[in-house]
Amino acid sequence: MKYFLTVLHVELMKLRKSRVIWVTAAAFTLAPIMAGFFMFVLLHPEFAKNAGLLGAKAQIAGEADWPSYLILYAQMISVGGILIFGFIISWIFGREYVDKTVRDLLALPHSRSFIVAAKFTAALIVNLVLAAYILSLGLLMGFLMGLPQYSTVILYQGIGLILTVTVLVSILSTPTAFLASFSGGYLAPLGFVVFTLVLSQIIAAAGFGDYFPWSIPAIYSGIAGEGSHTGLGPYPLLMVLATGLVGLLATFLWWLFADHH
Amino acid sequence: MGAVIQTEHISKNFGKLRAVKNISLEVDRGEIYGLIGLNGAGKTTLFRMLLGMIRPTGGTVYINGKKIRPGEHNIWKDVGYIIETPHSYPELTVRENLEISRRLRLIPQQKSVESVIHRLNLKEHAWKKAKHLSTGNAQRLGIAKAILAMPEILILDEPVNGLDPAGVVEIRNLLRELALDRGVTILISSHILSEMAKTATKIGIIHGGELLQEMDSKKLCKLFKSYLIVACRDNELALSKLASAGYSPTLNREGLIEIHSEKALRKPEEISRFLVHEGLPPTKLTVREEDLEAYFLKVVEGKEQ
C-alpha cells in the first residue's frame, strides 16, 4: 500500500506539471459556460426571441430550473466525458511511450501492477476533480442566475447523478488505456475514443443504446428524454462493468507480460 | 562465487528474425564487461532481456544468481540501467526527474538526489526542465538516474553517446571508480571502440545476434597485430621488388604497402635499406598497430566471409 501511494503521488505530480491536463481542464470549462448560457436563454425568453435560432436550440435543455440544470451537467459529462476522460487516460498511459520514459518504469523493485493501478487511480481522481470543477462553476452560475426549484434534496440527487455518470464514463475509459499501451502512443486510443463517441450517438439514436456500453452513461443521464434517468438496469450496468474489467485486465496483463521494445 | 550477470544460451526471435542467437556470457563482481557490435547486432535486445523487458525465446538470464521471470521484481533493487538514449519527463526539471526516480526506487535518503546532481556536474542545470537540456546533459541525467540508488549492478547501453570528450573521460573515470573501488558490476555497450578499450576489463564482440568472441582487456592488446606501412614514389614497382625479396607485401585500401612478416617487423631498417638499394627510397615507413576498431572489423568481416 505504501508503494502504491508513492507511485500515485508520482503520477499526480506528473499530471500536475503537465500542460496538457490544464489545457484539457480549460477546454472542459466550456461545458458550464454553455449550460449556463442555455439556462440564461430559457430564463430570459425576450433574449431568446431576439436570438432567433439560438433560442430554439436552447430549448433542448428543457426547463430552466435546478433539476433540469443538474441533469444537463450529467448529460454533458456522459457525452463530453467520453472524449475528455478518454483523452486524459490516453495521455497518462500513452505519454510514457511517446516520451520513451516507460523504460524507467519496467525494471523497478516492485511489481509493474503498482504503476498501472496508480495510473488508473490518478485518471479517476482527475476525472472526479474535473467533474467537481465544472459542477462548482455550474453551481455558482446557477445561484447567480437565480434558478428556481432549489432544494438540498435536488442538489444531492443531481450531484449523485453526476458522480455516477463520471464513474461510469471513467470505467469505460479502461480499454483506451490498453490501446495506448498496446500501440505505444496516444493516436490510436484517441481515434478509438472519437470512434466510440460517434458510435454511441448513432446506436443510441437507433434505439439500441442499452446494448452498447459507451451509450449507457448518456442514456442513464436522461439524454433520451425526460424521465429516462430512472435508474441503471442490471444488464447495462453489467455491460459497463464488464467492458471496464476487460480494459483493466488487458492493460495489467500487457504491462506485466508483454515484450516492451 | 558465481557470476553476477549470467545468460545461458539466450535467444530471441522476432517472427523469422533471429535477433539474438544462443548467447552465454558471464560478468563477475567488479568487472566492466564491454559489449561491442554494429547497429542491429543484438546488443539492445540482449540488454532488454537482461532487464526483463522482453522475454527470451530460449535460454535463461540470472542476475545475482536469481532467474529473471515476471514477478521477480526484487532483483531490480540492485540494478541501475540505461537502455538506448535515456529520456526523462520533458516538463519536469532535472531535480524533479531525479526525485521521481528516488521515490520509485524507494531510496529513503533525500540527499541522494543532491549528491548525484553534484557527482554528474548537473548543479547548474538542476532547475532546468529536461526538455531544455543539451544531448550531453540529458545523457548525464540518464546516468544520474542509473546510479542514484548506488546499485551493485549497472547495465548501460551506449552511456557515453552525445557526451563531449571531457564528459566521456569523466564517465569513464566514474565507471572505473565504481567498479574498482566499490565492486560494482558493469555491463556496458558502446560503438566508440577506443573508449571501450580504455574502460572495459573484458570485451565481447557481438554480430548478427551471435557472441563471436570474448576476451580479457589485458590479453586484447596481445591480439592486436603490428605491421609495416610503406610508401614509395612507385608503390607497384616497390611491391614487386619486396615480393621477390620474400617479404609477402600487399597493397591496402589506401594504396599503401602493408608488410606483416616477422622478419620485416623485427628489422624495419632492412626494408628501408633494401628499397634505397633498389632505387625506390621510401617516402613513408611506419610500424602500425591494430586497434580495437581494426580488430573488431577483422573479426566481423571474417564472420561474414
Structure-model confidence comparison of residues B27 and A30, the more confident one = B27
Same domain, B44 and B93: yes
Residue A34 domain boundaries: 2-257
Q: pLDDT confidence of A187, banded at 50, 70, 90? A: very high
Same domain, B274 and B248: yes
Q: pLDDT confidence of A62, banded at 50, 70, 90? A: low
B78, B79, B87, B99: best to mutate for the A interface, most A CBs within 10 A:
B87
- The letter for the amino acid at A25 is A
Is residue A33's pLDDT more than 90?
A: no
Three cell numbers written together for B215: 576476451
Is residue A65's pLDDT more than 60?
A: yes
Give the three-class secondary structure for B32.
Answer: strand
Q: Which residues lie across from B6 on neighbouring strands?
A: B26, B62
Going by C-alpha positions, the residue among A73, A63, A40, A46 that lies closest to residue A149 is A63
| Cβ-Cβ contacts under 8 Å, B76 against chain A | 107-109
**Chain A residue at shortest CA distance from B99:** A10
Which CATH number fits the domain that encloses residue B108?
A: 3.40.50.300
pLDDT computed for residue B71 by the predictor: 81
Query: How do residues A83-137 score in pLDDT, each as one tens digit?
Result: 999 999 999 999 999 999 999 999 999 999 999 999 999 999 999 999 999 989 8
d(CA B194, nearest CA chain A) in Å = 28
Going by C-alpha positions, the residue among B277, B284, B289 that lies closest to residue B242 is B277
Read off the pLDDT of each residue in A149-163 and give the average, rounded to a whole number.
Answer: 88
Same domain, B182 and B278: no
Structure-model confidence comparison of residues A35 and A174, the more confident one = A174
Q: Which residues lie across from B227 on neighbouring strands?
A: B288
pLDDT computed for residue A224 by the predictor: 59
Asked which of B204, B222, B240 is the last residue of a domain, the reply is B222
pLDDT computed for residue A60 by the predictor: 52
pLDDT computed for residue B140 by the predictor: 93
Domain annotation covers residue B48: yes
Same domain, B213 and B118: yes
Domain annotation covers residue B192: yes
Same domain, B238 and B208: no
Alpha carbon of B282 to those of A119, B229, B249: distances in Å?
72, 10, 14
pLDDT computed for residue B1 by the predictor: 55
Domain annotation covers residue B303: no
CA dist., res. B34 & res. B195, Å (int): 10
Same domain, B60 and B88: yes
pLDDT computed for residue A254 by the predictor: 96
Read off the pLDDT of each residue in A61-72 and give the average, rounded to a whole number.
Answer: 79
Domain annotation covers residue B116: yes
**Chain B residue at shortest CA distance from A107:** B76
Structure-model confidence comparison of residues B66 and A209, the more confident one = B66
Same domain, B61 and B111: yes
Q: Which residues lie across from B206 on neighbouring strands?
A: B211
pLDDT computed for residue B166 by the predictor: 87
Domain total of chain A: 1
Same domain, B239 and B217: no
pLDDT computed for residue A74 by the predictor: 87
Would you say B251 and B258 are in contact if contact means Cβ atoms under 8 Å apart?
yes
Same domain, B136 and B71: yes
Q: Which of B73, B84, B90 sits opposite A108 (nearest CB)?
A: B73
Q: Which residues of A96-118 are buried (b: 16+ CB within 10 A; e: fewer)?
A: bbeebbbbbbbbbbbbbbbbbbb
Q: pLDDT confidence of A185, banded at 50, 70, 90? A: very high
- The letter for the amino acid at B125 is H
CA dist., res. B284 & res. B272, Å (int): 9
**Chain B residue at shortest CA distance from A118:** B104
Which CATH number fits the domain that encloses residue B273?
A: 3.30.70.790
Structure-model confidence comparison of residues A60 and B110, the more confident one = B110
Same domain, B249 and B217: no
Among the ranges A61-75, A151-165, B47-61, which has the highest mean pLDDT value? Answer: B47-61
Domain annotation covers residue B305: no
Chunked mean pLDDT (size 10), chain B, 305 residues? 89 92 94 90 93 94 92 90 91 95 91 94 94 92 94 93 86 91 93 81 91 84 79 90 89 87 84 90 85 76 72
Same domain, B104 and B206: yes
**Cα angle vertex B188, ends B224, B64, to 5°?**
120
Domain total of chain B: 2
ipTM given for this complex = 0.85
d(CA B165, nearest CA chain A) in Å = 26
Other Cβ atoms within 10 Å of A172 Cβ, number:
25
Domain annotation covers residue B304: no
Asked which of B222, B241, B265 is the last residue of a domain, the reply is B222
- The dihedral through the CA atoms of A159, A165, A171, A176 has a sign that is negative
**B5: phi then psi, degrees, rounded to nearest 5:** -120, 130
pLDDT computed for residue B39 by the predictor: 84
B91, B129, B157: best to mutate for the A interface, most A CBs within 10 A:
B91
Same domain, B27 and B48: yes
Residue B258 domain boundaries: 225-289
